[in-house]
Amino acid sequence: MQKLAIIGGGIIGMTLANYLNLNKFEVTLYDEGVGQATKASAGIISPWLSKRRNKQWYALAKDGAAFFPKLLLDFSLTPDIYQKSGTLIFRPENQLDELWTLAELHRKEAPEIGEISHLSALEAAEKIPLLRPQPALMISGGGRLDGQAYLTHLSNRAKAQGMLIVEQSVRLIKENQLEVGGELKNYDQIVLTPGPHLKQLLSPLGYQVDIRPQKGQLLVFQTDDPHTGQWPVAMLEGEGDLIPFARGKVLIGATHENEQAWDLAPSKIAYSPLLESLAQYLRDPSDFLTHLTDVRVGTRAYTSDFSPFFGAVTDQLLVASGLGSSGLTTGPYIGYLLADFLNNGNKKWSNYQKTLDHYIR
């Protein structure tokens, strides 16, 4: 049995833990829980119409989205955690044809996009009555993931299988050694999945890491509409997307605040522009905006080229970070690929990223 430690219980670390072969590894997961992006986020899984031109990122995001049906079955995810809800995309009418052509093109390689249809203003308003009528493009394969609910479910599953989950901050002393509460602990394998904290964890060992933190805020509204669980996700123009969940919960997000970096305090000045652009879409803004019940804040990790990276730094040390604003889409698949490497020696990731030395020196 090999002793394996995971540092970071966000979407990568927790998925990895649940895919590891427990006949081969004795697993301990450490998570300090501060500023975690996964817990703050919720969760558009719909990467196909992104304007990004990075082909490796697109391949990873496309395959990450295609991985969800397997994830759903492997971990018995309930609709409160993940649901293929469909995605409504709102753009000025003259851009919808262009998007439709792009979606049809991408569907050849990504059939999981599902049905693509133009909705009239009235049809779109029937899907989400909160919004005033305007035409939209509907993609039936889009989904939504509640990051917090996903982690709770996977954490319970991991504990039930005998894994140790320790809520504590740790330091990396050597490639195979951690300091936990003043005590040194040796491992056969260590996997670092700490989001933007990777730089701080690796720098005492002399590594330079291309990672920067970015603050993100997500707004939680509680409406009295009992049908929100059946609504699709709405991708609006600008940053303010609308992600509905069951029992009246509607999330609006998210901000992208580079200057605020590690700050975890809700800031109205920063999230007000989200509400202003949302108001143009709402049927009754003055009513909806009074139902704000919570503001979630998390810290995303970005690399200079906005691309995730993951893999082995040494025989004993693996890393994954830099998931940016699409980590709910790519994170579970990255966790699975890392587990496949540790369990079986498979390394199926060269198509998805540049080599690690682009990010870690």
Ligand X SMILES: Cc1cc2nc3c(=O)[nH]c(=O)nc-3n(C[C@H](O)[C@H](O)[C@H](O)COP(=O)(O)OP(=O)(O)OC[C@H]3O[C@@H](n4cnc5c(N)ncnc54)[C@H](O)[C@@H]3O)c2cc1C
**Interacting residues toward ligand X by CB under 6 A:** 7-13, 30-38, 40-41, 43-44, 147, 169-170, 193-195, 197, 201, 216-218, 253-254, 298, 300, 321, 323-329, 331
- Minimum Å distance from CB 262 to ligand X? 11
Lookup: tokens for 132: 């005033």
Q: Name the residue nearer to ligand X (CB basis): 220 or 282.
A: 220
- Minimum Å distance from CB 31 to ligand X? 5
Q: Name the residue nearer to ligand X (CB basis): 173 or 289.
A: 173
Cβ contact 254:239 at 8 Å: yes
Q: Is the dihedral of CA 84, 297, 325, 198 positive or negative?
A: negative
Q: What is the Cα–Cα distance from 89 to 104, expressed in whole angstroms?
A: 14
Residue (of 10, 40, 35, 33) closest to 299 by Cα position: 35
Sheet holding 42-45, edge to edge: 42-45, 143-146, 82-83
Q: Name the residue nearer to ligand X (CB basis): 86 or 331.
A: 331
Q: Name the residue nearer to ligand X (CB basis): 121 or 173.
A: 173
- Minimum Å distance from CB 173 to ligand X? 12
Q: Name the residue nearer to ligand X (CB basis): 123 or 175.
A: 175
- Minimum Å distance from CB 271 to ligand X? 10
- The residue sitting closest to ligand X, measured at its beta carbon, is 327
- Minimum Å distance from CB 133 to ligand X? 25
- Minimum Å distance from CB 82 to ligand X? 12
Q: Name the residue nearer to ligand X (CB basis): 62 or 300.
A: 300
Q: What is the Cα–Cα distance from 345 to 340, expressed in whole angstroms?
A: 7
- Minimum Å distance from CB 342 to ligand X? 17
Q: Name the residue nearer to ligand X (CB basis): 193 or 307.
A: 193
- Minimum Å distance from CB 163 to ligand X? 15
Q: Name the residue nearer to ligand X (CB basis): 87 or 125.
A: 87
Q: Name the residue nearer to ligand X (CB basis): 37 or 130.
A: 37
- Minimum Å distance from CB 120 to ligand X? 27
